């Protein structure tokens, strides 16, 4: 597990404005540690994005759907996300053939009104971006 450390606090409205001011993005992905450890703010942000923008929202959570339902998070999460990847990563169930997740117990949940096309499995991919200053960014999960 990752250690919990205090970092810089950003008010959710300011974060929302930063998202809106980011050029050339089509969506927002919420992931790691556990986005729903700050459920009130995360769910507020996901709902705001859905209601006020054309951006998509993808949420990675270690919680199973039944846990999300028990905590009362499921209705807001399901109604406002375009894709929910649920379940804890389990090394013993690791599978690099899966897209968007690392172990076979993790589920891809596309809500009925999702604006994303369903991904089929077929191996992981990475994207390497080299910006104008020569900085290299790797996106994805290479094996």
Percent helix / strand / coil, the chain, rounded to 5:
30, 20, 50
Q: 34: which residues sit within 8 A by CB, 6+ positions away?
A: 61, 62, 63
Question: Which pTM was predicted?
Answer: 0.79
Q: What percent of the chain has pLDDT over 70?
A: 90
Pick 122 or 1 by higher pLDDT. 122
If one compares 113 and 140, the residue with the highest pLDDT of the two is: 113
Question: What is the predicted pLDDT for the residue at 111?
Answer: 94
Q: What are the tens digits of pLDDT across the range 90-134?
A: 999 999 888 888 899 999 999 988 988 776 555 566 778 898 999
pLDDT value of residue 118:
74
Domain ranges of the chain: 26-113+121-140
Q: Is the pLDDT of residue 57 over 90?
A: yes
- State how far the Cα of 62 lies from the Cα of 50, in Å rounded to an integer: 22
Confidence of residue 1 (pLDDT cuts 50, 70, 90): very low
pLDDT score for 33: 84
Go through the chain and tell me how many residues it has: 143
Mean pLDDT of the chain: 89
pLDDT for 42:
97
Q: How far apart are the first and last CA of the chain?
A: 20
pLDDT given at position 119:
66
């Amino acid at each position: 597990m990752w250690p919990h450390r205090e970092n810089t606090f950003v008010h959710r409205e300011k974060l929302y404005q930063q998202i809106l001011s980011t050029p050339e993005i089509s969506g927002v992905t919420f992931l790691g540690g556990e986005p729903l450890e700050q459920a009130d703010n995360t769910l507020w942000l996901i709902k705001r994005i859905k209601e006020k923008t054309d951006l998509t929202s993808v949420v990675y959570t270690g919680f199973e759907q039944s846990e999300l339902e028990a905590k009362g998070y499921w209705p807001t999460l399901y109604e406002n996300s375009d894709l929910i990847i649920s379940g804890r990563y389990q090394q013993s169930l690791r599978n690099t053939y899966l897209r968007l997740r690392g172990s076979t117990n993790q589920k891809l949940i596309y809500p009925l009104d999702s604006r994303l096309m369903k991904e089929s499995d077929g191996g992981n991919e990475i994207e390497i971006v080299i910006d104008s200053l020569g900085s290299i960014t790797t996106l994805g999960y290479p094996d």
